[in-house]
Amino acid sequence: MTELGGLVREVAESRLDRRSFVAWSAVVGGSAALTSCGTGTDNQPAPGENDAETRVWSACTVNCGSRCPLQLVVKDGTIVRIDPDDTGDDELGTQQVRACVRGRAIRQRIYSPERLTKPLRRTGKRGEDKWEEISWDEAFTLIADKLQQLIADYGNESIYLNYGTGVIGATIATSWPPRATAIARLMNCVGGYLDHYNDYSAGNIEAAVDFHYGYWQGSNSNDDTVNSKLVVMFGNNPHETRMSGGGEVFVTRKAKELSGHRVIVIDPRQSETAMNLADEWVPVRPGTDAALVAGMAHVMISENLHDKAFLDKYCSGFDEAHMPDGVPANMSYESYIMGRSEDGIEKTPEWAAAVTGYPADKIRALAREIATTKPCAVNQGWGIQRHSNGENQSRAPMMLAALIGQIGIPGGGTGERESSANIGMPGLPVLENPVRPVISFYRWTEAILNGKGWGYQQGVRDLQNLNSNANVKHDITLNSNIKFIWNYGSNSLVNQHGDINRTIEILSDESLCEMIVVIDNQMTVSARYADIVLPDVTTAEQSDIIQQGSAGNLGYSIFASRAIEPVGDSMPIYDQLTGIAEKLGVKEKFTEGRTQDEWLDWILDQARAGNIPDLPPNDEFKKMGMFRKTLEPVIGMKAFRDDPDANPLTTPSGKIELFSSNLYAMSLDWEMEEGNRIDPLPVYWQARELPGDPLQEKYPFQCIGHHYKARTHSSYGNSPWLKEAHPQNVWINDLDAKRRGIRNGDQVRVFNDRGETRLPAFVTKRIMPGVLSIPQGAWYKPTSVGGLDEGGSVNILTSLHPTPYAKGNGQHSALVDIERA
């Protein structure tokens, strides 16, 4: 289908109102779109055909990990075409960074019918989508007055900056990490704000790594797999999550082409990566990866295939001879595997097969291949740790990497997510946040209700200790419930958070959180639940420095120049916050007398004087658009492997803690939510809403959510082109579908006690029996019936229940049922 095919059909069927049609006309090139409607072809001129066209460097700044450059072709003040990067080549480290279908559809975001163009104040109840337009001055005054009142009444801890990655990779206009944003700088000018630690992407593994390795290490970069003979990927799917043609799709394919290594993908779903890259797909039940590793460990130990020399020298807790002092006998990992621990069960391949659903003989073969093929790179995506036992799950691939001794060497890996090289562009200075308590990213809804008085066991940490050993206990407590929420470039207020119905119930009580401010350029699901909505510009409507994405050993930065005037009355966030700062009496402190463009020049000067001395002069960089250089591959933990005495880890032992002494201490005195437990070893335990839960008698299917080509999380979720190309559906195994009388394309209802969504079924052999998968990020679309969603949003089904010690999101642990609607 051509670009205009969908529009032509929609116009013919009268499904577009006038506002939508005008927006679509702008997307496809103004009057040229009207000319094309008769034939359904795109009659836009080719580059250089019309002297009135200009080409402006920009970027796709959404959270896919790639951060691709774009060239915006502008005519008469309108973007008429998107061209990709035309620099570089097809070699590792110098490759073109070609945007995927999402970035190439960015005109539909810029000119979307859902585009916000005026400041809005809510007039109905939260979520009713009733608004009145107000002036910028009135919006600034309302926000500043409320901030001052709440800070006076409850303190700065009552002001919360929510997690958001809808604008990521930019420098001034960035929403992640929140503590590096212009909003953080504004709040730090008036006494600070309540921050959070970790994130929805990787909250459980980020906490687990602190106990296992001391802090985040990262696995080897994917370009280093040219040195590997075997690559083992646990739930890692870069061909959908990071599918830029110059990012990890290109890097993984090119490295495999050069080395000829085998790739094994372990995933309940045969992902695009498993289809396009893997030589072998290993399907296991969701949440059981630690059991698979245990079954393989039994084979390796029984057949003496493990690297005992590595374990003895670099690790603590593998066997009884290398345990911390004061720990009872038979608590080592080897004792757990061989049945000498408290449960008395040998973790044989037969045991693992019963848990994972993967045959015992294949587990044996897998273990032998991984143990004897070297170098072997073990890494994981972030899907396996989004379970109710997510911390233990994420430590299991790290355990496997240690068992085979492949940490810290070329061609190996740490068992974490792959790293990538980075040129180290500095960011906007945000000043110091005086507020010391920080909460887990996933507990803000509960903190609205009863956060006051929370302490260490509720997941409160000390901001001053976040970058040191995060396991140090402290007496910091939270002194207020959340009363005000900043939500910038984020759909995590509702759409991406767990248990949408419960979340909405909490947000709907205006006596709890008294003001919600959303800054965005789209009327997202989350924006519908705001009190004040401020219309942001897109990257195309301002200048900014774009930090690089994940692209192996390629380092780069993009200068995105302003291509068009702001749509409607939208305004860059820096200018918005400058207006609010003036109302708060801190304008000079916030701006230091600089405009956004002047800050960009200052940052480039800092970069040239620091990490990037070869960065071209500012005007030259702005003209060239993209600065690139080839960097060295990343070898995770190389210094530690080379000399562990000179480069000890920040764990209590200074070694890799397969048995975490800190977790052991926590397991003795922490009060746990029902169904949670803390274990010092990376063991498998049957957690909430995983196989074996009695709830399966009522809801027999495990439901997970996977990343999808149509969206980056929920960004681009309202693009007609992408929705047409990649419709939302629920994946179901063909055997399960046959038993339920469900055919491909049938409308089905997926439901549990938390809610229900309706969407078409995709019947396939590419998912394990007993498992459903709904692509995450689809926009929640409620009906008049309570608890029912027609948008295919998986988070109508997921839980707010926190994981044991990360207090993170176990959103992939959700039991459901399915039937024809």
Query: How would DSSP label each residue in 433-484?
Result: ----EEEETT-HHHHHHH-TT--GGGT-EEGGGTTS-TT--------S---E
pLDDT of residue 468: 56
Question: At 386, which amino acid appears?
Answer: R
Residue 21: pLDDT over 60: no
What are residue 196's phi and psi, to 5 degrees? -130, 165
**Given CA atoms 75, 77, 83, 88 in this order, what sign does their dihedral have?**
positive
Give the N- to C-terminal CA distance of the chain in Å, as an integer.
30
pLDDT higher than 70, residue 409: yes
Query: Is 344's pLDDT higher than 80?
Result: yes
| HEC readout, 603-641 | HHHHHHHCCCCCCCCHHHHHHHCEEEEECCCCCCCHHHH
User: Residue 285: what pLDDT?
Assistant: 98
3-state secondary structure of 82: strand
Alpha-carbon distance 179 to 39, whole Å? 50
Give residue 346's identity as a one-letter amino acid code: E
Question: What mean pLDDT is predicted for residues 238-257?
Answer: 93
Question: What is the pLDDT averaged over residues 86-103?
Answer: 95
Reduced to 3 states (helix: H, G, I; strand: E, B; else coil), residue 486 is strand
CB 492 within 8 A of CB 162: yes
| pLDDT, averaged across the chain | 92
pLDDT band at 15 (very low <50, low <70, confident <90, very high): very low
Q: Is the torsion defined by CA of 178, 180, 185, 191 positive or negative?
A: positive
At 376 the pLDDT is: 98
Section 800-808 average pLDDT: 97
How much is the pLDDT for 34? 26
Whether residue 469 is predicted with pLDDT greater than 70 in this model: the reply is no
Q: How far is CA 699 from CA 357, 754, 816, in A?
A: 18, 12, 5
pLDDT value for 51 = 59
Percent of the chain with pLDDT over 90: 90
Q: Which residues lie below 8 Å from residue 291, measured CB to CB, with a gap of 6+?
A: 347, 351, 352, 355, 356, 684
User: pLDDT tens digits, residue range 544-600?
Assistant: 999 999 999 999 999 999 999 999 999 999 999 999 999 999 999 999 999 999 999
Say yes or no to pLDDT of 12 above 70: no
Backbone φ/ψ region at 777: left (φ over 0), alpha (ψ -120 to 50), beta: left
Query: What confidence category does residue 50 fall into, taking pLDDT thresholds of 50, 70 and 90?
Result: low
- CATH 3.40.50.740 intervals, the chain: 120-202+437-536+571-593
pLDDT of 467? 61
pLDDT tens, residue by residue, 424-435: 999 999 999 999
CATH 2.40.40.20 residue window(s) in the chain = 694-820
**Rounded CA Rg of the chain:** 26
Pick the CATH number of 120-202+437-536+571-593 from 3.40.50.300, 3.20.20.70, 2.30.30.100, 3.40.50.740: 3.40.50.740
Q: Answer whether residue 279 shows pLDDT above 90.
A: yes
Model confidence at 115, in pLDDT bands (50, 70, 90)?
A: very high
- Model confidence over 764-778: pLDDT tens digits? 999 999 999 999 999
Instruction: Tell me the C-alpha distance between 286 and 405, whole Å.
Output: 26
Which residues in the chain are classed under CATH 3.40.228.10?
Answer: 205-420
Q: Which residues lie closer than 8 Å to 679 by C-beta, 6 or more apart?
A: 392, 663, 667, 685
Taking alpha carbons only, the member of 85, 63, 69 closest to residue 561 is: 69
Model pLDDT, residue 42:
33
CB–CB of 693/674 below 8 Å?
Answer: no
Q: Are 88 and 94 in contact (CB under 8 A)?
A: yes
Residue 111 DSSP one-character state = T
> What distance in Å separates the CA atoms of residue 397 and residue 382, rounded to the nearest whole number?
12
Please tell me the chain's helix, strand, coil percentages from 3-state DSSP, rounded to the nearest 5: 35, 20, 50
Give CATH superfamily name and number for 205-420: Dimethylsulfoxide Reductase, domain 2 (3.40.228.10)
CATH 2.40.40.20 is right for the domain spanning 694-820: yes
pLDDT tens sequence across 700-727: 999 999 999 999 999 999 999 999 999 9
The phi and psi torsions of 382 (rounded to 5 degrees) equal -110, 10
Query: Which pLDDT band holds residue 11 (cuts at 50, 70, 90)?
Result: very low
Whether residue 517 contacts residue 187, with contact meaning beta carbons closer than 8 Å, is answered with no
The mean pLDDT value for 433-459 works out to 97
Q: Rounded to an integer, what distance in angstroms lies between the CA atom of residue 485 and that of residue 474?
A: 26
| 487, 164 Cβ separation under 8 angstroms | yes
Q: Model's pTM, two decimal places? A: 0.93
Would you state the pLDDT for residue 787? 76
Mean pLDDT of 667-676: 93
Cβ count within 10 A of residue 475: 7
CA distance 332 to 365: 25
Q: C-alpha angle with apex 649: 65 to 265, nearest 5 degrees?
A: 40
Report yes or no: 147 and 55 within 8 Å, Cβ to Cβ. Answer: no
pLDDT digits (tens, 9 = 90+) for 509-555: 999 999 999 999 999 999 999 999 999 999 999 999 999 999 999 99
Place of tokens 């036992």: 389
Closest C-alpha to 730, from 739, 741, 742, 722: 742
